Amino acid sequence: MPKISNKGAQMPESPIRKLVPYSEIAKKKGNKVYHLNIGQPDIKTPEVAIEAVKNIDIKILEYSHSAGFESYRNKLSQFYINTGLPINPEDIIISTGGSEALLFAMGSTMDQGDEIIIPEPFYANYNGFSTASGVTVVPVISSIDTGFALPPIADFEKLITAKTKAILICNPGNPTGYLYSKEEMMQLAEIVKKHDLFLIADEVYREFTYDGDVHYSVMNIPGLEENAIMIDSVSKRYSMCGARIGCIVSKNKELMATAMKFAQARLSPPTFAQIASEAALDTPQSYFDEVISEYRERRDTLVAELNKIEGVKVANPKGAFYCIAELPIDNADTFAQWLLESYDYNGETVMVAPAAGFYSTPGVGMNQVRIAYVLQKEDLIKAVHILKEAITAYNAR
């Protein structure tokens, strides 16, 4: 029998999606499942994006330019400039989601066996992208006790070797909701310049900040033009996860010329989705004001409810729409599966994402879960009440 590749065998399973079969079992039993496990916003996609696709008059569904529509890149550049980011059309390559942009970034900056330092917990797919690129993730642990703030720079220094090529951050963070301050960004800028590294910033949640804190982009750091790579996406900003449109952004011309070769190899990003994404740039500010206000209320509701459960520790997120909660249980993987397979509270249960899958250090985060507050406030309150009852029942087994 033919053998699969070592790379394929090493590809990690999604810690979020691997529980799906168990949620299907729960639903077949007739139980309602509250999905706290996945960052799929329930906010409506802007009408202007949907209408653009409905009303398009296309005779031939052609390839686009490998870098994406010129009209889209021009308009996106203007969008960035209006939000204070000095980004020109030639600094942008449109990708098939932020995921492909990260693969382009890794492929353009790292060789087989090179290392990338990532503060953990981090978006679980960074492990997958690194494995696919033959790159080794070197984690630097941040703590729930500091709200998952940037680890001390000395911790980064200790990990830098001749094989280190980049530091990758998610800002604001998935799964932590942490927003890096300007001071923290400047510390990172200093260390990447000192060691000639790239600083890759996944900024897909840029708009989602809640306490008057200002998002400080990697593209705003003076003197970092050659080191800075920004990853962006329409998925969360416009609640368009299924469009699969993102971009890689950098002022480094050699890097962008290299990324362009990867873009050419996959031919072009999808046409209809680019049409929708270009139109989405006309979304009125009122849309964002309402969305941010709604998420702020959801965050406050979720954190307040979680804090009512004895033994639970939760880091108050400053951005994105996730938080990490430490639960008084022995193993979040077992607990998450048990919730779906064996537990219901009046015919209802919850689905959470075990946080160990967001760490690459073995044995860390075993009693933590990531919760996405993408449900209505009433549903969040119900879901946390079920979680409270479930913890008591689980520990009494």
Which tens digits make up the pLDDT trace of 299-343?
Answer: 999 999 999 999 999 999 999 999 999 999 999 999 999 999 999
* Domain range summary for the chain, segments of one domain joined by +: 6-44+286-395, 60-280
Q: What is the structure's pLDDT at 344?
A: 94
pLDDT in tens, 96-108: 999 999 999 999 9
C-alpha 148, offset from chain centre:
15
Q: Identify the DSSP state of 319.
A: B
The alpha carbon torsion through 284, 277, 91, 181 (nearest 10 deg) reads 50
Residue 68 — very low, low, confident or very high, per pLDDT cuts 50/70/90? very high
Q: What is the structure's pLDDT at 373?
A: 95
Q: Which residue has tokens 């996944």?
A: 202
Percent of the chain with pLDDT over 70: 100
State the average pLDDT over residues 351-375: 93
- Helix segments in 62-181, DSSP class H: 70-82, 97-109, 125-133, 153-159
Q: Which residue has tokens 């368009």?
A: 240
- Helix segments in the chain, DSSP class H: 6-10, 20-28, 47-54, 70-82, 97-109, 125-133, 153-159, 182-195, 253-265, 271-280, 285-306, 332-341, 377-395
Q: Is the peptide bond before 175 cis (omega within 30 degrees of 0)?
A: yes
Average predicted confidence (pLDDT) for the chain: 95
Q: Identify the DSSP state of 11.
A: S
pLDDT in tens, 5-46: 999 999 988 877 778 899 999 999 999 999 998 877 888 999
> Does the pLDDT value for residue 261 go beyond 90?
yes
Q: What is the structure's pLDDT at 42?
A: 82
pLDDT in tens, 195-250: 999 999 999 999 999 999 999 999 999 999 999 999 999 999 999 999 999 999 99
Q: What angle do CA 280, 87, 128 make, to 5 degrees?
A: 75
Q: Round to whole Å and give the CA distance between 231 and 280.
A: 18
Residue 272 — very low, low, confident or very high, per pLDDT cuts 50/70/90? very high
- Please count the helices (runs of H) and the strands (runs of E) in the chain: 13, 13
Q: Identify the DSSP state of 46.
A: P
Q: Round to whole Å and give the CA distance between 282 and 49.
A: 8
Q: Round to whole Å and give the CA distance between 134 and 110.
A: 9
Q: Which CATH class is domain 60-280?
A: alpha beta
Q: Are 105 and 127 in contact (CB under 8 A)?
A: no
Q: What is the structure's pLDDT at 275?
A: 98
Q: What is the structure's pLDDT at 221?
A: 98
Question: CATH topology for 6-44+286-395?
Answer: Aspartate Aminotransferase, domain 1 (3.90.1150)
Q: Are 367 and 329 in contact (CB under 8 A)?
A: yes
Q: Give the largest CA-CA distance in the chain.
A: 64
